Amino acid sequence: MQQKFVTIFPLKTIEIKSAWQGVSECEKCSIRSSALFAELNEEDFSKIHSPIDDLSFDANADIYSQGDHAGSLFTLRNGYIKILHVNSDGSERIVRVVLPGNLFGMEALLGDAYEHSAIALTNVHLCRIPKNIITSLGEESPRLHRQIVKKWGEALLQSESWFSEINTGRIEARLARFFLKLAKKSGHFAIAPLFKREDMGLMMDVKFETISRALASMADQGLISNITRLSVQVPDLERLKQFSKQGT
């Protein structure tokens, strides 16, 4: 019932960069400072023997699905990913949005199966880290272990703060906070990404029509402009901030 996209393979993932082996690239990784291996030194890298693949996915592609065997965790390099939880009654809810630099799929370290589904919201670029690298390297490198604890903690805090801010109050205020979290300055304006209205509804627990109406209403009020499928402009971040606190 979901969107269908044309795939060459009946399978779900599309890999456009070839996998590569070894450690040299990790050491030069542009997002390394914020990534899992931030604190590792050369000696640590020399202990990595399994391949860390560098993968790309199209928007809407499944990275993994709830219940899949969990053999790897991932670092997102760019793009956005939604973490979807399917409730026992079949209803769905987006429990986290993964931002560049974030780790996801850490359930792999705890159990055999993923607890959620991870689906690309945009075209994405990510690293797949086999769990055995962590478990074996972890024995020897307290630095890595510390980093994992830290990353995990950040994920929890992000999840809780996301939850608290994106799910409290009227929709318009929630949308405002959502924009404030994701907006990036670009010249005189700030630009915030939009996702499918359906997805945004799943994040905030409202129907997609409600998202659409709220966007229109906020545009009427001059809080945002140039609504497209993929983004909005925020002319005045400060004003939006005020709005997110007040409600009117």
Positions that interact with DNA (CB under 7 A):
3-4, 6, 170-172, 196-198, 205-216, 227, 229
Comparison of 106 and 206: residue with beta carbon closer to DNA: 206
| Helix (H), strand (E), coil (C) string for 67-100 | CCECCEEEEEEECCEEEEEECCCCCEEEEEEECC
Picked from a second copy, DNA, none, the partner binding residue 148 (CB below 5 to 8 A depending on kind) is a second copy
Supply the minimum distance, in Å, between the C-beta of residue 174 and a second copy. 10
If the CB atoms of residues 62 and 154 are measured against a second copy, the closer one turns out to be 154
Residue 167 interacts, among DNA, a second copy, none and using kind-specific CB cut-offs from 5 to 8 Å, with a second copy
Tokens standing for residue 132 = 């055995």
* CB-CB neighbours of 146 under 10 Å: 12
Q: How far is the CB of 220 from DNA (least distance, A)?
A: 9
Least separation in angstroms between residue 8's CB and DNA is 12
Contact present, 171 and 211 (Cβ < 8 Å): yes
| Helix, strand, or coil (residue 57) | strand
Pairing of strands 124-130, 53-57: antiparallel
Beta bridge partners of residue 118, listed in sequence order: 64, 83
CA atoms within 13 A on the CB side of 226: 11
User: Can you tell me the distance from the alpha carbon of 234 to that of 224, in angstroms, rounded to the nearest whole number?
Assistant: 5
By beta-carbon proximity to a second copy, the closer residue of 124 and 176 is: 176
Note the residues at the interface with a second copy (CB under 8 A).
Answer: 83, 85, 87-91, 93, 95-96, 106-107, 109-110, 115-116, 138-139, 142, 145-146, 148-150, 152-157, 159-161, 163-165, 167-169, 205, 244-246
Beta bridge partners of 79: none
Rounded to the nearest whole angstrom, what is the least distance from the CB of residue 141 to a second copy in the complex? 10
Comparison of 55 and 129: residue with beta carbon closer to a second copy: 129
User: Taking the complex as a whole, how short is the minimal distance between the CB of residue 168 and a second copy, in angstroms?
Assistant: 5
Residues with Cβ within 8 Å of 194's Cβ and at least 6 positions away in sequence, in order, are: 200, 215, 227, 228, 229, 230, 231, 232
**Partner whose binding site includes residue 172, from DNA, a second copy, none (CB under 5 to 8 Å by kind):** DNA
- Report the partner that residue 70 touches, choosing among DNA, a second copy, none (CB closer than 5 to 8 A by kind): none
Q: State the binding partner of 45 from a second copy, DNA, none, CB within 5 to 8 A by kind.
A: none
Shortest approach of DNA to residue 164 CB, angstroms? 15
> What tokens appear for 69 in the block?
């065997």
